[in-house]
Amino acid sequence: MSDLLTIAPEVRDVLAAGGPVVALESTIVTHGMPWPRNVETAREVEADVRAAGAVPATIAVLDGAIRIGLSGQELERLARTDHVMKCSRADLAFAVATGQAGSTTVAATMMAAEAAGIAVFATGGIGGVHRGAEQSFDISADLDELARTPVCVVSAGAKALLDLPKTLEVLETRGVPVVGYGTDVFPAFWSRESGLPAPYRLDDPQAIARLLATRRLMAGHGGVLVANPVPAEAEIPAAEMEGYIAAALKEADRRGIRAKDVTPFVLSLIHDLTRGASLATNIALVRNNARLAAQIAVALAEND
């Protein structure tokens, strides 16, 4: 896979020196937010990573290559492009082979980050087991990727529109450590608490870095999920969010929306139902995750 990568010079140089780099996904740019807030947020997230002492590497498919680190011009081009492929593991090779522009989900970003030698990745929320999966079998590839690919994923838990208890059960079955950062409760994306216990708790980036370093010594181990609650001042309480989520999922079902189209549709409708409050919360949690991921990457580089 390394032959398919185009690594930005700054990212390549920092990796070669053993310095801290944080991978960032690009689906939030193409499918998660409207223009121009998408590119503004992407730039803010990259700035947050730099402010915490690491180098950002936003990942996307452009011109038949997997780009590890985008220039400002490339980031804006991606944000303005229509009909960008949403790439998970199954889609990444197709986008590269056909020359289509593609944004990377959690799974695809993990694949590319690991191939480039990047150990820490910041996102908003992971995918998981969808509600009604016992009939639809709709389960995100993110969970299997976490099981197989040794990258630390910092997120605000899993997206709250999912079946969170089943998502945690699958992560446990797949052998993925789920670490609450400064919390004993698994966060629910827009909300600080899901009501479900976090399997493990660590309270500082150095402790997480030690866990990652230890996992490296164990052959065949995959990733680690760090569940970082949204800042208190930005959260929308879970009870309030559940009403919006239920309404949005009902509308998605009425329209026959399925598979990978469900999440962007539901997020967009929730944005409308909350009159933009969910987007503000989403931005706050992504930036919060980027800052923590950078701190973990710095601690990991210092330990090497």
Residue 264 half-sphere exposure toward CB, CA atoms < 13 A: 15
Half-sphere exposure of 127 (CA within 13 A, CB side): 27
User: Per-residue b/e over 186-225, b at no fewer than 16 CB within 10 Å?
Assistant: bbbbbbbbbebebbeebeebbebbebbeeeeeeeebbbbb
Number of other CB atoms surrounding residue 9 within 10 Å: 8
Q: Which two structure tokens, joined as six digits, stand for 235? A: 């959260």
Backbone angles phi and psi of 59, in degrees to 5: -115, 135
CB 107 within 8 A of CB 141: yes
159 is catalytic: yes
Phi, psi of 84 (to 5 degrees): -75, 135
User: Rounded CA gap, 78 and 213, in Å?
Assistant: 34
CA of residue 241 relative to chain centroid, distance: 20
Maximal C-alpha separation, the chain:
53
Q: Which of 25, 46, 145, 235 is catalytic?
A: 25
Q: Choosing from 46, 76, 114, 159, which is the catalytic residue?
A: 159
- Our answer to whether residue 25 is catalytic in this structure is yes
Residue 52: C-alpha distances to residues 84, 118, 246 (Å): 31, 17, 37
Q: Which of the residues are catalytic?
A: 25, 159
